[in-house]
Amino acid sequence: MRDFTFAIVGALGNVGTEMRGTLEKSKLPIGNLVMMDVAENVGQVVKWRDREISVVEAAADAFAGVDIALFSAGEGAALELVPEAVKHGCVCVDNSTAFRGSDVDPLVVPEVNAEALTNHRGIIANPNCSTIQMLVVLKPIHEKYTIKRVVVSTYQAVSGSGQAAVDELHAQTRAFAEGRELEVNVYPHQIAFNALPHIDSFVANGYTKEEMKMIDETHKILDPAIGITTTTVRMPVVNGHSESMNIETEKPFEIDEVRELLAGSRGIIIEDDPGNNVYPLAINAAGQDPVYVGRLRRDESIGNGMNMWCVADNLLKGAALNTVQIAAELIERDLVRVPGDV
């Protein structure tokens, strides 16, 4: 297999940092790795394996010779640079919202719909963090029991809002410990010792964009026939999203059978021994690749209902790891080419 030239766009950000780490540990055939970021970070030197790599500016010409670019640079940069990269024959995996709703560009969670990559046109969108971990769990259940409806409430970490939010939680925590007044800048309200039912901006139907992403992306990636409603909540947790999921299926199931099914499914680890206080926790999932599932139990209020608690590192499986897994699928399926590309 030939080697590929990779690029990370937004290499110094929260997710870009995790992308560097994930690529470092991966067994992908990476010949060259280009680190791109905004102009003011150009020239910074980043260690990667045994190399020292200088950051270059994320700009159209920088994509010449790049085979696969992993973007975590926000919607604006993606809309501007992804089409330019594609013109250079570079396949782009983008972690922003820019292409998620597209009718032609695939939106992919490798455990769920890797086959959607087949007809890509140079752009693959990476789903929202809270969608990814949910769909890894819903996929095997849907395949076996046909999901009718999902009601999910999230407990999301501040790292999903970027480093400024992590710094703000730490600063508010220190201020509290020292008896000083808490400063509020990143979120509209204090995040320390609070729960904010508000992630991303509000839309006309009273939902937040984060809530609508979970709904719309589930319909695009898994099945438009699934009924789903969501409430997304920001928590004073540094890293690791938790989700309380209520699932109704068409077909009957036994809980032990579901647990076994999930235990044998790709990307999932079962942590479900409540008698010994074992269940998924954000502080344990942080820094880990899998999606953890526990608190699995029957919902007695309907015929075929179940509840569970699902936790994953939102920067890894929720972002960096999923983009790297998409790149791996592209390589394995011989899809690292832009249609019309020579």
Catalytic residues: 129, 241
Closest residue by Cα to residue 333 from 124, 20, 144, 175: 124
**Residue ranges in contact with a copy of itself by CB under 8 A:** 149-151, 153, 155, 170, 173-174, 176-178, 188-190, 193-198, 202, 205-208, 227-229, 231, 233, 235-238, 242, 244, 246, 255, 274-275, 277, 279-283, 294-302, 305, 307, 309
Least distance from a copy of itself to the Cβ atom of residue 321, Å: 21
Whichever of 282 and 331 has its CB closer to a copy of itself, that residue is: 282
**Spatial distance between the Cα atoms of 342 and 335, rounded to a whole number of angstroms:** 13
Whichever of 88 and 219 has its CB closer to a copy of itself, that residue is: 219
Helix, strand, or coil (residue 29): coil
Is the distance from CB of 98 to CB of 75 less than 8 angstroms?
A: yes
Residue type, 182: L
Is the distance from CB of 308 to CB of 247 less than 8 angstroms?
A: yes
Least distance from a copy of itself to the Cβ atom of residue 124, Å: 28
Residue type, 74: G
* Residue 342, both tokens: 């020579």
The C-alpha angle 302, 308, 314, rounded to 5 degrees, equals 140
Is the distance from CB of 322 to CB of 24 less than 8 angstroms?
A: no
Q: What is the largest CA-CA distance in the chain?
A: 64
Least distance from a copy of itself to the Cβ atom of residue 19, Å: 24
Helix, strand, or coil (residue 10): coil
**Spatial distance between the Cα atoms of 168 and 165, rounded to a whole number of angstroms:** 5
* Residue 122, both tokens: 């140079």
Least distance from a copy of itself to the Cβ atom of residue 114, Å: 27
Least distance from a copy of itself to the Cβ atom of residue 206, Å: 3
Is the distance from CB of 251 to CB of 171 less than 8 angstroms?
A: no
Q: How many CB atoms lie within 10 A of CB 64?
A: 12
Is the distance from CB of 335 to CB of 117 less than 8 angstroms?
A: yes
- Per the listing, tokens 């992630």 go with 199
* Residue 245, both tokens: 């999921």
Least distance from a copy of itself to the Cβ atom of residue 98, Å: 25
Least distance from a copy of itself to the Cβ atom of residue 156, Å: 10
- Per the listing, tokens 């969501």 go with 230
Residue type, 207: Y
Whichever of 20 and 142 has its CB closer to a copy of itself, that residue is: 142
* Residue 206, both tokens: 């009273």
Whichever of 263 and 302 has its CB closer to a copy of itself, that residue is: 302
**Spatial distance between the Cα atoms of 225 and 230, rounded to a whole number of angstroms:** 16
